[in-house]
Amino acid sequence: MLKQQFYSLANHYTLQEKIIDALWHELETSYSHKKRHYHNLSHLENLLVQLEPVKSQTSNWDAILFAVFYHDAVYRAMRTDNELQSARLAENRLHELNVPEQTVRQVFDLIMATKGHTIRENNDINLFTDADLSILGTDWNAYHTYAQQIRGEYSLYPDFVYNPGRKKVLDHFLSMPRIFKTNHFFEKYEKQARENLKKERASL
């Protein structure tokens, strides 16, 4: 599904299969790395599932799709600039595909917005970052699996280092007036997300 979606998207801008093949191989390799417990291809698939029902509310669907594929293309637990590096990679690769500059800029902004997940004036950004956070509002068993996967990605750090850092992340979301900015995702996930975040925090 992901590969087919990427090829269909890329074909809007180029018919050079070798370029598309190379870009897909790069993405697949990155997201399939053995240290990717959560930020992997399954995460991308879930994002597409979450975003499809709100497609009609978006102004640049192609930009959102490109952002899905590239937003975690660079992901290393020890770095704090993963979003910037992913956005720059997307910028370079979209230029290879001859994507118009306006769309490239929108993809860059969409990816950078995942650093804080704060509300923006741009509805496409709000829908995209809400979808990125949708795991927070799933049932507890799914959320608990997610929390364990995140812990796996930070396995390098002992609990006395990881737990305070994780609490900061949880507190960041719990302090938000609304975790989910759009009505679609707020109504679907907000209540459960807050329950899950509080439960995880209490366990640390």
Across the range 37-63, mean pLDDT stands at: 98
Report the distance separating Cα 124 and Cα 169, nearest Å.
24
**By C-alpha distance, which of 22, 134, 152, 160 is closest to 75?**
152
In this predicted structure, what is the pLDDT of residue 78?
85
Sign of CA dihedral 111, 112, 113, 117: positive
Q: In terms of residue numbers, what domain contains 162?
A: 133-204
- The arithmetic mean of pLDDT across residues 28-45, rounded, is 97
Asked whether residue 170 falls in the same domain as residue 74, the answer is no
For residue 126, tell me if it sits in a domain: no
Is 124 domain-assigned? Answer: no
Q: Whose structure tokens read 């087919």?
A: 4
Backbone angles phi, psi at 202, to 5 degrees: -65, -20
Give yes or no for residue 1 having a pLDDT over 90.
Answer: no
Do 11 and 107 belong to one domain? yes
Residue the block writes with tokens 């598309």 = 20
Considering the domain architecture, whether residues 28 and 61 belong to the same structural domain is answered as yes
Count how many domains the chain has: 2
Tokens of 13: 């801008």
Is residue 123 one of the residues assigned to a domain? no
